[in-house]
Structures are given as C-alpha cells and as structure tokens.
Amino acid sequence: MDKRLFIAERAYKRLDVFLSEQTDEFTRSRLKKLIEEGNVSVGGVPQTKAGADIKVGEAVELTVPEVVEYAVKPENIPIEIVYEDADLAVVNKPKGMTVHMGNGVVEGTLVNALLYALDSLSGIGGVLRPGIVHRIDKDTTGLLVVAKNDKAHVSLAKQIAEKTCKRTYFALLEGNLKEDRGTIVTDIGRHPTDRLKMSVLPEGKGKLAITEFETVARFGTEFTLCKFKLQTGRTHQIRVHAKHMGHPVAGDPVYGYKKQKLNADGQLLHAWQLELTHPQSGERMTFNAPLPPAFQEILRKLCKRYQVCGEFESLC
C-alpha cells in the first residue's frame, strides 16, 4: 500500500483538483473515486467528498491501494489492432462487441480480447476496464485507443477532456437533413422515464454535449450520409443528437424509428478517424478505419438507386 503526503501551499475549492495538481499519475475521475472510497484524509481526518475545501497549510494524505489482479479472463478473440507500441494500441472494434464487462456481460468483450492480445494494459480503468480510455457502443464500429500503462492513460484521458484528441464518425441518417453543416450544443443525461436511454435535457440538468456535423451525401429524401466530430464524449452522444435533429441514425434500435427501412442489424455509425498526440514522443498521429463491409454495401446500393456519387465513395 502506497501512502503519499501533500501540503497545500494555497487554498483550493475542491480536494480532487488539489490532488490532480500534485500528481500526474492519476486521472481526475480516478482521484475522485479514491476519495469517495475513503483513501484520503485531510488534517488526519478521513474525507470522502471530492468537492471538499482545502485550506492553506493543510496536510492531505493519499493512500493508493495495491493493484488488484485483473478479474477479467483473457480470451483468444480475433481483433484488428491498427497500431501498437509500448504505450498505446489503436483497435478497430467490430459490430456486436461490448467494450468492457458490465450489465451481466462477463465475457466476449474487447477487454477480454485485449488481455490476450497485448502484453500490458493500464490499471487506471479499474479491474473491469483495464486500458480503456474511452468507449464506443456495442453495435458501433470503428476506432478507439487503449492505454498500455498508467502514464499513457493519464495523457490520453487529458487529451479527450481538453478536446485535443479528435474523433470523427460517419453515420447514415434517416430522412433528408437540410443543413449542410452545423454544431449541436445541448445537455445530455439519463432519460427521465427510461433509465436505459439517454436524452437531451434542459440546460443545467445534464452534462454539456457538443457535436459538429457535416452533410456528405443525400439519397433523395430517404437517407443522409453525415460526418460527425465529437467535441465531448457523452454516452450515446451522436445517436441522441441525431434523434434531436429529427434524423436518427439508420438502423438504431433504441433511438431510431420502430419500422426500419434497412436491414442493418444495428445503427449505421462508424468511428472512422482518430487523431491524438503520442503520450511519450509528442508526435501527432492520425488513424483511419474503412467503413465495415455491411455499411459499404448499403451505401453502394443507395448510390446506384439514386445515382449519387462523390468523394465519399473512397470510404467503400
């Protein structure tokens, strides 16, 4: 067990902010969890509130529990690793694969596959989410970055929080989206009556969610191919914002229309591009993953039906 003592040289309005400035080893969310689990004392008194005030000269002791061995078993599941080095890996996640354990899912996840395929993963995500810096939905395909050590995890998480890690998606939307481009800014939170869904909420009732969009191609009045850039990373953000615009993602069984026009077997949403700064070298890196075959085939059929062609065809 690792104990660390810090003395506040100035006053702080939040304990987790103070600790995050004392060490670059942990993310803010990890520190908050350590505080809430009773691993921090202020002036010798246990403190479980991350938002507690810290006065000048106060002694703050942080106890870091010993690393728990992964409870998730490695599984030999084929996954496409687009890039890998000593600090990170970039993976092209297939449709139907959950990123990590939860809600009764105990095997067949991306984490199970990563534990088998990689030589190390960061521990900041906890026992059930080793290496996981960000997620994409089970039936969403495409790129996500995985941290192989804690230092890389902190750097990548910070890039996502500061919006310097760029994530670009392609989605096929229902209907004719009239706008060529725009930015959606709302609050997103848990749906007030259906706790399994997310929803756009009144300002101040959820977390800020910002999505940029650009129309790539229109297929009559039936469908619109759109490019989305995430400025924030809320749960189901693109799917919720697409519905909010009145044009849900085609094939989406949760936020889309009950009667689907396409046999898509899940939402046609793909994490196409990932741009980040390498946590060790500082090099700016960009990765791309082509649309999955089923998505490509649907686009080909729509192109033929509506005689629409353009630069987007290079995605197929």
Tokens of 30: 């990890």
| pLDDT at position 107 | 81
The answer on pLDDT for 141 being more than 70 is yes
From 2, 24, 53, 137, the catalytic residue: 137
| pLDDT at position 283 | 97
- Is the model more confident about 147 or about 102? 147
Task: Note whether 101 and 54 are same-domain residues.
Answer: no
List the CATH number of the domain containing 25: 3.10.290.10
> Residue 237 and residue 241: Cα distance in Å, rounded?
6
The answer on pLDDT for 235 being more than 60 is yes
Question: Catalytic: 24?
Answer: no
Give the mean model confidence (pLDDT) for residues 294-303: 92
Task: Note whether 20 and 152 are same-domain residues.
Answer: no
No. of helices (H) and no. of strands (E), the chain: 6, 14
Q: 228: which strand partners?
A: 169, 213
Whether 144 maps to a domain, the answer reads yes
Task: Note whether 183 and 305 are same-domain residues.
Answer: yes
What values do phi and psi take at 156, rounded to 5? Answer: -70, -40
| pLDDT at position 4 | 84
Asked if residue 217 lies in contact with residue 236, where contact means CB atoms within 8 angstroms, the answer is no
The pTM assigned to this predicted structure is 0.78
Task: Note whether 128 and 106 are same-domain residues.
Answer: yes
What values do phi and psi take at 271, rounded to 5? Answer: -80, 100
148: containing domain: 80-161
> Residue 191 and residue 207: Cα distance in Å, rounded?
13
List the CATH number of the domain containing 282: 3.30.2350.10
Neighbours of 172 (CB within 10 A): 28
Give the mean model confidence (pLDDT) for residues 117-141: 85
What values do phi and psi take at 116, rounded to 5? Answer: -85, -40
